[in-house]
Amino acid sequence: MPRRPTAPIAEFPVSGSDAGPYGITCGPDSALWFTMVHHGRIGRITTGGDVTSYQLEPASSGPSIITTGPDDALWFTEFRSHRIGRITTTGNITSFPLPTPDAGPFGITAGPDGALWFTEASADRIGRITPDGDVTEFPLPLSGAFPSAIATGPDNRLWFTMNQANAIGAIGLDGGVTINPLPTPAAAPVGITTGADGAMWFVEIGAGQIGRIAPDGKIDEFALPDPASRPHAIAADADGNCWFTEWGANRIGRITPDGRIDEHDLPSPSSEPHGITLGPDGAIWTALEIGTVARLTPR
């Protein structure tokens, strides 16, 4: 059984309940930046709770995942507008259309080569964009894979989940792709992050499990107590643990490198936690679709 420790959790209103705070990341300005997927806005919240937001055009662009780029700007995917967006810490916004129509960009991360790498969920491609907007696309050897989240691995490859192909992929800087099928059928992996142990950790939203894959492809899976908890996003902390959202169970979980699991109930019912990140204050910050951002302070 998991431990249910008590950790202080504070919630900060950041939008209306219909805006849909979704992805979240720690910015270069020591604030938290997040997407509002339903209203087409990018939000910023300080560790003290001060909130600013910026409107995208069109409002229906569907900003999803957001990350800090090598140029100290925030980069994000526009799932419905099929663009990659960039916003400076002062609020200047640029968008870059993708060569492939209806690509559906979703996950994005800073690569080891000074570029941003992203998934094209609707086009079965991995994309690369330089800070000045040059885009390269690499087709995957599978169709209907729905590549989702992506993260840079310790081996300088980009590791990504294939939600509908039930696999974890890795792509080298030269575009070479390796595919690692998951042991559990219909696991539907989504979030992925680099662990302090030199492995990639990911969540299986369809199976209620946390997965770990080593650079050589060896996979371990750890079942959550509630198989219907629908883990969604995952982020590593400074102590070697990984934190994840349980979208279907209204909780934030933590898994240690040896597979021990703690879970923390969120204060607001049915808050729909999505993105998660380590903040500049050492706390865990989570975007909640009800229009708030939560801060969990580990004990």
Feature table: binding site: 232, 272, 289
Q: DSSP secondary structure string, 173-220? A: TT--EEEEE-SSTT--EEEEEE-TTSSEEEEETTTTEEEEE-TT--EE
Token pair 């937001």: residue: 53
Binding residues for Mg(2+): 272, 289
| Cα end-to-end span (Å), the chain | 20
Q: What is the DSSP letter of 240?
A: S
Binding residues for substrate: 232
* Alpha-carbon gap, residue 14 to 99, rounded angstroms: 34
* Alpha-carbon gap, residue 224 to 262, rounded angstroms: 10
Which residue in the list 38, 39, 82, 274 is annotated as catalytic? 274
**Within 13 Å of residue 170, how many CA atoms lie on the same side as its CB?**
19
Q: Are strands 251-255 and 41-45 parallel, antiparallel or unpaired?
A: unpaired
* Alpha-carbon gap, residue 227 to 224, rounded angstroms: 6
Q: Is 264 a catalytic residue?
A: no
Q: Dihedral sign, CA of 299, 199, 146, 224?
A: negative
Q: Dihedral sign, CA of 85, 87, 91, 92?
A: negative
Please name every residue paired with 170 in a beta bridge, in sequence order, or none if there are none.
159, 178
- The type of residue at 141 is P
| Backbone torsions φ then ψ of 228, nearest 5 degrees | -100, 15
CB 16 within 8 A of CB 37: no
Q: Give me the active site residues, please.
A: 274
